[in-house]
Amino acid sequence: MGTTLSGGEQQMLAMARVLVGKPRLLLIDEPTEGLAPKIVDEIFTLMDSLRRDGIPILLVEQNMHRAIALVQRFYVLERGAVVMAGDGTKAADREALMRQLAV
């Protein structure tokens, strides 16, 4: 039963259930929230593998250091409005994001 699993195990089960359906697009909201660092590593490794396989991912994530290494484009929302956008593959844009957010 899924309800008997830990939070990390439940998150991995949710990802597995989605992947069984062979999605053309993944919408992921805070996949690493409250998880142990080892599980966070596994989730980001999985998302990177999916991205490399050509599956587009729309990711909402507060772990900016990990997310920025994964994305092609990023958008920062504040109260529902885009306050910053950039190219995640460009070092200057990534650095500007980190300065703006002071992380």
Query: Is 70 exceeded by the pLDDT of residue 44?
Result: yes
User: Kind of pairing, strands 57-60 and 73-78?
Assistant: unpaired
What span, in angstroms and rounded, lies between the C-alpha atoms of 16 and 35? Answer: 16
Q: What is the mean pLDDT of residues 43-51?
A: 91
How far does CA 96 lie from the centroid of its chain?
Answer: 19
Domains of the chain with bracketed CATH: 1-63 (3.40.50.300), 72-103 (no CATH)
pLDDT digits (tens, 9 = 90+) for 52-86: 999 999 999 988 888 988 999 999 888 999 988 99
Look over the chain and give the mean of its residue pLDDT values, rounded to a whole number.
87
pLDDT band at 103 (very low <50, low <70, confident <90, very high): low
Whole-prediction pTM: 0.79
Residue 94's pLDDT is 87
Structure tokens at 89: 């593959």
